[in-house]
């Protein structure tokens, strides 16, 4: 392998820049030619590709978003689009591609490998919803952003003796919701991975809390649940109608995706980015970088895509104990 292209795909996440930096600099350190591909797989289809030097990734480790920009690419899901991307890759002399993104982006990489490209995946998403990895780049930053917002909301919930419903991101996974719920002392955490009963698990819990002397309540509503039962504003109204407790809903939205990455996201992105390139240099490819038992490992991409992951049940049980 002489030339490696790097791209970010799917939703952006804080720490993607730290990963790009690690990929580019590790490659240059080993004497490889490094190319940046803009806007996810779109850049491969359109030829939006440029040489990257060590200086092109200066002063980005602390910045959210991705300097390569990211996008979803419809063309890349077709054979025709893949063939075009393969021709363009050949034209630019690309021997291997590092994709920083989620499960969808891994699927794109896996399909592209069938056309002869050597691929490597890095887990980048705030949702931590990549089945094969315990940890994804951006997850820690997003949780800290939500935590900060929750602490502020709790201040006014306390002052006004209110109930607050906070809707948080996570797509179809409740990892952000669960951890923030524990860290922020939420009374109720609604996760897409678990069934719940509106009257018993929400209304009764709030009323029991009031009978036990509670004066304010935090309810975390995961995005994947909001999609099914309605958003924070709708849920707030229902709770207020039934309990008589003033209830306010907040949808945090895109502030969760931006911002300067935490130290954990920067360090993990650096370690994983460097490992991806080291493996490629050693002739190992069609793998994804992943975290297992807190260690950074690599897995076969097909194996990784077949894996399943659940939320941490012990944490969920703990949240029930600690919210009485």
Binding annotation for ATP: 11, 72-73, 102-105
Among 20, 23, 73, 305, binds ligand ADP (CB under 6 A): 73
Number of residues located near ligand ADP, criterion CB under 6 A: 17
User: Which parts of 114-186 fold into alpha helices (H)?
Assistant: 139-160, 175-183
Query: Least distance to ligand ADP from the beta carbon of 171, Å?
Result: 8
- Cβ proximity to ligand ADP, 11 vs 174, nearer residue: 11
| Residue from 127, 129, 140, 298 carrying the catalytic annotation | 127
- Cβ proximity to ligand ADP, 11 vs 43, nearer residue: 11
β-bridge partners, 300: 287
Cβ 252 vs Cβ 177: under 8 Å? no
From residue 86 to residue 105, the character string flagging contacts with ligand ADP as x (rule: CB under 6 A) and all else as - is: ---------------xxxxx
Determine the interface stretch with ligand ADP among 7-15, 217-225, 273-281, 288-296 (rule: CB under 6 A). Answer: 7-15
Q: How far apart are CA 238 and CA 272, in angstroms?
A: 45
Annotated binding site for substrate: 125-127, 162, 169-171, 223, 248, 254-257
Determine the interface stretch with ligand ADP among 69-77, 223-231, 237-245, 247-255 (rule: CB under 6 A). Answer: 69-77
Q: Alpha-carbon torsion 231, 232, 235, 241, what sign?
A: negative
Establish if 41 lies at the interface with ligand ADP (CB under 6 A): yes
- Cβ proximity to ligand ADP, 121 vs 184, nearer residue: 121
Query: Least distance to ligand ADP from the beta carbon of 37, Å?
Result: 12
SS3 state at 200:
helix
The encoded tokens of residue 65 equal: 């978003």
- Burial of 324: CB neighbours in 10 Å, binned 0-12, 13-18, 19+: exposed
Question: How, if at all, do strands 118-123 and 247-251 pair?
Answer: unpaired
Establish if 11 lies at the interface with ligand ADP (CB under 6 A): yes
Establish if 26 lies at the interface with ligand ADP (CB under 6 A): no
Among 33, 56, 69, 72, binds ligand ADP (CB under 6 A): 72
Query: Least distance to ligand ADP from the beta carbon of 206, Å?
Result: 35
Determine the interface stretch with ligand ADP among 3-11, 144-152, 234-242, 246-254 (rule: CB under 6 A). Answer: 3-11
Question: DSSP of 55-121, one letter per residue?
Answer: GGGTT-TT-SS-TT-----SGGGSHHHHHHHHHHHHHTT--EEEEEE-HHHHHHHHHHHTTT-EEEE
From residue 105 to residue 144, the character string flagging contacts with ligand ADP as x (rule: CB under 6 A) and all else as - is: x-xx--x-------------x-------------------
Q: How far is CA 188 from CA 95, 218, 231, 237, 259, in A?
A: 50, 7, 15, 16, 27
β-bridge partners, 156: none
Q: Which residue is nearest to ligand ADP (CB)?
A: 104
Q: Give kind and range of the element (H or E) at residue 3.
A: strand 3-8
Q: How far apart are CA 73 and CA 190, in angstroms?
A: 32
Q: How far is CA 315 from CA 176, 178, 237, 294, 319, in A?
A: 12, 7, 28, 17, 6
Closest by alpha carbon to 117, among 163, 82, 73? 82
Establish if 9 lies at the interface with ligand ADP (CB under 6 A): yes
Based on the residue annotation, tell me whether 155 is a catalytic residue of this protein.
no
What positions carry a catalytic annotation?
Answer: 127
Residues that bind ligand ADP (CB under 6 A): 9-11, 41, 72-73, 76-77, 101-105, 107-108, 111, 125
């Amino acid at each position: 392998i002489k030339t490696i292209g790097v791209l970010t795909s799917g939703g952006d996440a804080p720490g993607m820049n730290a990963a790009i930096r690690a990929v580019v600099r590790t490659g240059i350190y080993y004497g490889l030619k490094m190319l940046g591909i803009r806007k996810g797989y779109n850049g491969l289809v359109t030829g939006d590709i440029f040489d990257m030097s060590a200086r092109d990734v200066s002063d980005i480790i602390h910045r959210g978003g991705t300097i390569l920009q990211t996008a979803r690419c419809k063309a890349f899901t077709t054979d025709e689009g893949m063939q075009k991307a393969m021709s363009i890759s050949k034209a630019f002399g690309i021997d291997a591609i590092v994709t920083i993104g989620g499960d969808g982006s891994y699927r794109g990489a896996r399909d592209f490998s069938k056309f002869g490209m050597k691929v490597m995946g890095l887990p980048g998403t705030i949702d931590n919803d990549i089945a094969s990895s315990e940890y994804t780049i951006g997850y820690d930053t997003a949780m800290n952003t939500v935590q900060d917002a929750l602490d502020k909301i709790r201040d006014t919930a306390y002052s006004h003796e209110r109930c607050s419903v906070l809707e948080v991101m996570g797509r179809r996974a409740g990892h952000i919701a669960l951890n923030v719920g524990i860290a922020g002392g939420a009374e109720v955490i609604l996760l897409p991975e678990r069934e719940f009963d509106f009257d018993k698990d929400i209304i009764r819990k709030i009323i029991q809390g009031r009978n036990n002397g509670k004066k304010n309540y935090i309810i975390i509503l995961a995005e994947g649940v909001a999609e099914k039962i309605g958003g924070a504003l709708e849920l707030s109204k229902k709770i207020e109608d039934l309990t008589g407790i003033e209830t306010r809903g907040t949808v945090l939205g895109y502030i969760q995706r931006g911002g300067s990455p935490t130290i954990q996201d920067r360090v993990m992105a650096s370690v994983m980015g460097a490992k991806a390139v080291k493996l490629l240099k050693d002739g190992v490819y069609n793998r994804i970088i992943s975290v297992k038992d807190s260690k950074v490992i690599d897995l076969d991409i097909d194996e990784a895509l077949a894996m399943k992951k659940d939320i941490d049940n012990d944490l969920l049980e703990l949240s029930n104990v600690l919210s009485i």
